[in-house]
Amino acid sequence: MESALCQTFANIEYLVVDDCGNDGTIEVVERFRREHQRGKNIHIIHNDQNLGVGKSRNLIIEHAQGEFLYFLDSDDIIEPETITILMRAVQQYQADAVYASYEKINTMHNNATVLYQNSFQYFNAPDEFPKFVFSQYRSFQVSVCNCLLRIEILRRSGLRFIDTMYWEDVAFTYDLATKLQKVVLLPDVTYHYLCRPYSLSHYHDREFLQRNEILQNVTTIDYLKSQCCKLRSKTYAPNLCRALQMFSFYIVCYVLKSQKRITPAITYREMRQMMHYPLRLNDIMRFGQMRMLNVALWLIPHLPVPFFILTIRLLGKIKNVL
């Protein structure tokens, strides 16, 4: 809250969702609203029950009065110039969205810091930005934080967060990419992402895992796969399908690596189902690029279970994830 309220940009509406937590957070927000000089600009949305991250963010989209939207997670920090820097780029390029750079601080491992810095890029051609995002699936930020976004695009398209506990950011980011044309990437580091133990996004660090937690991630990727039929004629479709199959591949590798920690167990057949390809083979043969790679990714979940597991283990070792 302090880093948000000390922004140099003057005209900001602060929307805070009270999602029925029990740790006293909302009392801190109430104090800021009473005592801070920008307190009159803080508006609290009170949920009647715990709705989760996705539905709470959807409420922010519905309630926001401004022209642009910026998400900040409740345990992260932004630089004082963050909104000023992003607004300057929006105005200069008349952009639909501006993504700045960020650093990831792992509080679980001696505050180890990893810098995720963009090179400056401006996208303006149709389908140019989604093709870039889907081709950079391992390096492009899937968090919706640290992006200044024109709200009109969300309201015109009806784009909202899906109702899931995990990876709602991934689904939203991928959906959003297909609806943006004018986009700017900035090298300015404006966001500090703090990785904390026991947070929703770091449940996999626990000693024991629930099967349902893993399957929530699978459900998110399955949702994105279900959207592929509508996008199969797009020039970025090969990149999108490849990216989603690789997400599934890494999930399966993680399940194989963590089998002893997951209860109830996830079977090999279920792992193979996780890798189902989003389109038909005929659709792949119409791709203008990456055809053979996508054919290979289509083939893997069609292998008999023993050969499927053997293939995943081999590829996992090559990718250094198993």
Instruction: State pTM to two decimals.
Output: 0.91
Does residue 204 register a pLDDT over 60? Answer: no
**209: Cα within 13 Å, side-chain hemisphere:** 24
Q: What is the pLDDT of residue 91?
A: 97
Which of 200, 239, 237 shows the shortest CA–CA distance to 220?
A: 200
Across 35-39, 112-116, 188-192, 276-280, least confident range? 112-116
Q: Spell out the alpha helix ranges (H) of 64-109.
A: 82-93
Query: Which pLDDT band holds residue 255 (cuts at 50, 70, 90)?
Result: very high
Q: What is the pLDDT of residue 206?
A: 64
Does residue 228 register a pLDDT over 70? Answer: yes
Does residue 136 register a pLDDT over 70? Answer: yes
Contacts 24+ apart (CB under 8 A), 280-288: 283/232, 284/241, 286/232, 287/237, 287/238, 288/235, 288/238
Q: How, if at all, do strands 14-18 and 42-46 pair?
A: parallel
Which of 146, 149, 160, 154 shows the shortest CA–CA distance to 194?
A: 146
Does residue 139 register a pLDDT over 60? Answer: yes
Query: Which pLDDT band holds residue 291 (cuts at 50, 70, 90)?
Result: very high
Reported as a single tens digit per residue, the pLDDT across 95-128 is 999 999 999 998 776 777 889 999 999 999 999 9
